[in-house]
Structure 1
Amino acid sequence: MKTIHRILLLFSFVAWVAVASACKGAPEHGESTGADAPQPYVTLSMIMPGDESARMREFVDNELNARLKQELNIKLELTYIPWADYQSKVELALSTGENYDLFWYGTSFVSDYKTKGYIRPLDTLLQTYGPDLTTNIPADNFKQYEMDGSLWAIPSQAFTSAGKFTSVMVRQDLLESVGMKEIRTIADLEAFYTKMHARDPSYYGYLENDRGQDVLWRELSDQPLTFLDENQMFAVNENTGELVDYLESDLYKKVAQVRKRWVDIGVIDKRLAGNKAANIDQEDAGRLLFRVGAVSRAMENLQTVQNADPEAILREYYLAPDKPKYIVAPSNEAYMIPTKALHPERAMQFMNWILQSKEHYNFIIYGLEGKDYRIENDKIQLLTNDQFMYEWMWRNKNYFMPTTNVDDSVVEDMLHNDDNARISKIFGFHFNQEPVKKEYAKVLAVYNEKFLPINLGIVGYDQAFPGSMEALKKAGYDKVWAELKRQYADFRAAQTSRADWGGSK
């Protein structure tokens, strides 16, 4: 009887709590749960890549911070780092424990930074302070940053993503000026460069050394492959699900031979090869004929290119366009909160604030309506040439509007990019380097010294590959490869097990 009495008392208490909670009311949409009490005024330190425009500095110091103080009681301290220095300086800041609260980087860095202890898990922060993030970003986007049962980054972009970094972006206006309409083959790219160079040698072709090999795969390979790692040593065969030792494959030799030919004919300029800052400067000056695409780069880069050449038009193409495209990551954009962050809760509140409404979204990306932009026929008419927060970092299907200077055909390309796309076999896979971190570090050092010149076409494959591969093996390549295969096999087995139990992916 005493036991029954205690149970009845417990039920009565639970019912009372439920009634009390109902009377208080659930948080309204857009309110930050767990933050009803007044919060102290703090400075939120954030790192971003690129060069800060004059208007962006003025906007942050005035309109943005005035609003953030009123609505979140924070001041945003935004530090821009030039693209060419971003990786090294972010690594330095994280490794030395500088007190930054928020920073951006690409998908491939999340696992590495998690392993190194640079970033903190975000599950509780997201649940408490991120209701609008989870409302406007699909659940699958978050899954790509889940490791060891925790979430490690916020996938800020929620848009089309199949085939990202496997397309090529070209100056469409210049392409048409030499009597061409589209790009479908490697030969088309070479013809475009040759015709433009004959007419005006100040223009040049360019395909980044840090990306772009898989752009060529679409034509050169009879099997659909996807890179497994940022450093482009390993891949997966999308047909079979098997891992591929790319560097020792015949495909790598074919790609290297194309790159060498491009150096010989001038498509890749030896003086600029490997110098990312110089290449970006040339692109900003409107002298670039083509580069690696990114699904929506033709829209993203248009404003900058048109600052140099108002007549510029950009368009993205896939070589061998009839071949399938694969979704490796639904978002390549990752916002992370460092382990040493002083204000992690406020960092999450700030990210949530951006997606709280379309008005907030437009405000931080385009500035002040009527001064920096206006809306015309469901498009953004830019009133300033200065960049604000990068639109591509936060592009969201629920809020997206193209700018008026972007051709409708480019918008259609973007919106339909994922039509009939397939999920990659490596979706959700993260290589944990910890078991082979010493070997992996040595392998990367050798790769950067020996293989990047081959990738760029500065040295020939036949001349450089044998000695380079031997050096890579001595550094521990085979051990890294074996560990990668072991982890991938476990990943595939877990996928099969989930599928057997009715799970997804």
Structure 2
Amino acid sequence: MMRSVRFGKMGLAALVALLLVLSACSKNNESSSNSSASSSASKSASPSAGSDAGASASASPSADSSLPPVDLTWYYPADSQTALGPVQDAVNKITKEKINATVTLKPIAFGEYNQRMNTIAASGEAFDIAWTSNWLFDYVGNVTKGLFVPLDDLLNQDAADLKASLPDFMWDQVKVGGKIYGVPNYQSVTGREGYIVPKDYADKYGLDVSAIKKFEDIEPFLEKIKQGESGVAPLVMDYNGMFGYFIHTQGISTLPITSNPPIGFYDSDTSMKLFNVYASPEYKHYLEVVHGWYQKGYINKDAPTIKTVDDLAKAGKAAVSYSLSLNPGTETLVSNNRYGGKPIEYVPTTGFVVDGNPGIATVNAIGKNSKNPDRAMMFLNLVNTDKDLYNTLVYGVEGTNYDKIDDKTVKVKQDSGFTNNAWVMGNTFNGYLQEGQAPDTFDVQKKTNEEATPTQSVGFKFDVSPVQTEIANVQSVLDEYLPGLSTGAVDPDKKLPDFLDRLQKAGIDKLMQEAQKQLDAWKATR
């Protein structure tokens, strides 16, 4: 998350949407989940200190009386914050005491975040902090445009605890031109693709998890749900479809150049020769399968137009969903955030993979026009080292938005008017566990981070500046065609040729040539 978008919403998982990350998180429209935002990590991760280093309820001293009061602004993506006021008050009670600062929280819906933040950036509006990533509100591209300030000196001066608390590989990955421009949100940074199935359906219709190796293997199970359940979509999709959520299942890695990345290489190809994934036989096969599913009524009819699947799933109108962040310990989060607390079962189609750049899958950066960059840095230091502040940002107010089960575990109150994705706010390992999560969840996630298999392009960052026009044009074509095609709503025999022709005219070949040039140069330095 992670909704979670590598090919459209981490979170939990994006998931976590979710997932949603789920990361997390991705490719990810997993905005409804506290899981990873991205299916990416570094095999060579070696923390400079434990991820909990310096994290405590009183990590920072009381505010220096010489600090003048300031109000900071923080833009970030979130989909359900109708009761934000009391949470913001609780946050500011902590920050006022610690750094004599208050913050105005400015959540924007995931589906609107990229467009609205690009408008804000183009207008020159001053903001102190903005969330950014390699799949939504492009981190590297925004650095190249000069939108964010370099943080190296600020980290040393105002956030030593934060700097020491994260693994070295996380800081390495947010470097552009040798400088740090954002604070990475440490999380479960691996990915594992597959389906999410409510356990009652799995039991009722005899789901055989071991039989599902490819994305299409779920079809017999969908047919049983269609025949046995009235008013339930056997498979729920949003407008992104699910091609990108099963990309490694199909043996492909993609470069996160745009939302729904159009360029990739085969995982088995050590030369990393790039190709247009939408012109691949894998995508054509995917379209043929999901178009058939759509016609049979397995997929919700409004898939091309909805931006999140959570409402349908929570209402009991949807059964199977999917994620690229089926990470250990996230089942409870996905259950709570996507299925209203119903037990779920993960059906993975890959092992744990490390893809892309975990450090830039979810980042908080300081705006170049901020009038108080030092205080913004102090605030981010607190967010990532003060557990009380972090958990208030994620879970809200105790008794109103959640109840404590014990010192480490909480029960979230559904429909309290406030939810946040943990991987958006800061270091997730400072968070509470949710009811049902194993006590060793964070330890298992950290171990998985270190042991997952990295893809060949881990660490590559694409400089978009030579092809900004082509990227904009290609993205426009993707936005126009993918909702209908990738959800199965339109006939691929009629629309796919037009789609590929428009991509050619938009400049995808030039985009691919530039990406190949940069990828080859990066590969030569490894």
Whether the TM-score (by the shorter chain) exceeds 0.5 is yes
d(CA) in 2 for partners of 1:284, 1:93: 33
Matches within 5 A, 1:375-390: 375-376=405-406, 378-382=408-412, 386=416, 387-390=418-421
What's the CA shift for 1:209? 4.4
Contact 1:439 1:480 in 2 (8 A): yes
- Counterpart of 1:318 in structure 2 is 348
What's the CA shift for 1:449? 2.5
Deviation digits for residues 363-393 of structure 1, max 9, x if unmatched? 4333455774324274334467533543233
Change (3 A) 1:80 1:395: closer
- Counterpart of 2:87 in structure 1 is 59
d(CA) in 1 for partners of 2:300, 2:413: 36
Q: Specify every segment of 5 or more residues in structure 1 that has no aligned partner in the other structure, as ranges.
A: 1-28, 496-505
What's the CA shift for 1:30? 4.3
Decide which of 336, 349, 356 is 2:365's aligned counterpart.
336
d(CA) in 1 for partners of 2:157, 2:367: 18
- Counterpart of 1:272 in structure 2 is 303
- Counterpart of 1:402 in structure 2 is 433
Letter in 2 for 1:291: S
Contact 1:101 1:337 in 2 (8 A): yes
What's the CA shift for 1:241? 4.3
Partner of 1:283: helix, strand, or coil? Answer: helix
d(CA) in 2 for partners of 1:106, 1:243: 25
Structure 1 residue 299 corresponds to structure 2 residue 329? no
Contact 1:45 1:100 in 2 (8 A): yes
Deviation digits for residues 131-188 of structure 1, max 9, x if unmatched? 22222221111222211122222111x2322226x33333233322323253734345
Structure 1 residue 476 corresponds to structure 2 residue 507? yes
d(CA) in 1 for partners of 2:414, 2:303: 31
Partner of 1:88: helix, strand, or coil? Answer: helix
Partner of 1:276: helix, strand, or coil? Answer: coil
Structure 1 residue 236 corresponds to structure 2 residue 265? yes
Which piece of structure 1 moves more, 266-275 or 340-349? Answer: 266-275
Q: Specify every segment of 5 or more residues in structure 2 that has no aligned partner in the other structure, as ranges.
A: 1-57
Contact 1:374 1:383 in 2 (8 A): no
d(CA) in 2 for partners of 1:383, 1:206: 25
Contact 1:443 1:475 in 2 (8 A): yes
What's the CA shift for 1:491? 1.0
Structure 1 residue 78 corresponds to structure 2 residue 105? yes
d(CA) in 2 for partners of 1:306, 1:433: 38
Change (3 A) 1:425 1:373: same
Deviation digits for residues 309-363 of structure 1, max 9, x if unmatched? x5x11333321x4x56234333521112222223222222111112224344334
d(CA) in 2 for partners of 1:227, 1:258: 24
Change (3 A) 1:273 1:402: same
Partner of 1:48: helix, strand, or coil? Answer: strand
Change (3 A) 1:258 1:418: farther
What's the CA shift for 1:395? 6.5
Contact 2:87 2:396 in 1 (8 A): yes
- Counterpart of 1:123 in structure 2 is 152
What's the CA shift for 1:226? 4.1
Structure 1 residue 427 corresponds to structure 2 residue 474? no
d(CA) in 2 for partners of 1:112, 1:479: 18
Decide which of 403, 412, 429 is 1:373's aligned counterpart.
403
Contact 2:148 2:368 in 1 (8 A): yes
Structure 1 residue 356 corresponds to structure 2 residue 385? yes
What's the CA shift for 1:192? 3.1
d(CA) in 2 for partners of 1:30, 1:84: 35
Decide which of 261, 282, 287 is 1:256's aligned counterpart.
287
Letter in 1 for 2:345: R
d(CA) in 1 for partners of 2:67, 2:241: 44
Letter in 1 for 2:319: L
Contact 1:299 1:410 in 2 (8 A): no
Letter in 1 for 2:332: M
Letter in 2 for 1:285: A
Change (3 A) 1:490 1:192: same
Letter in 2 for 1:464: K
d(CA) in 2 for partners of 1:44, 1:327: 34
- Counterpart of 2:31 in structure 1 is none
Change (3 A) 1:445 1:393: closer
- Once the two structures are aligned, what percentage of the paired residues are identical? 21
Change (3 A) 1:426 1:218: closer
Letter in 2 for 1:110: Y
Deviation digits for residues 223-266 of structure 1, max 9, x if unmatched? 45344433321113333141331222222212222222221222
- Counterpart of 1:24 in structure 2 is none
Matches within 5 A, 1:146-295: 146-156=175-185, 158-163=186-191, 166-180=193-207, 182=209, 184-185=212-213, 186-204=215-233, 205-210=235-240, 212-219=242-249, 221=250, 223=251, 225-229=253-257, 230-239=259-268, 240-245=270-275, 246-277=277-308, 279-293=309-323, 294-295=325-326
Letter in 2 for 1:303: N
d(CA) in 1 for partners of 2:511, 2:127: 33
Please tell me the root mean square deviation across aligned C-alpha atoms, in Å: 3.2
Which piece of structure 1 moves more, 401-410 or 427-436? Answer: 401-410
Partner of 1:268: helix, strand, or coil? Answer: coil
TM-score, structure 2 as length reference = 0.77
Contact 2:73 2:105 in 1 (8 A): yes
The aligned length equals 456
Contact 2:198 2:344 in 1 (8 A): yes
d(CA) in 2 for partners of 1:442, 1:53: 33
Letter in 2 for 1:49: P
Contact 2:393 2:420 in 1 (8 A): yes
Letter in 2 for 1:462: D
d(CA) in 2 for partners of 1:369, 1:452: 40
d(CA) in 2 for partners of 1:365, 1:470: 44
Structure 1 residue 347 corresponds to structure 2 residue 380? no
TM-score, structure 1 as length reference = 0.80
d(CA) in 2 for partners of 1:390, 1:491: 33
Which piece of structure 1 moves more, 209-218 or 129-138? Answer: 209-218
Partner of 2:302: helix, strand, or coil? Answer: coil
Structure 1 residue 38 corresponds to structure 2 residue 66? yes
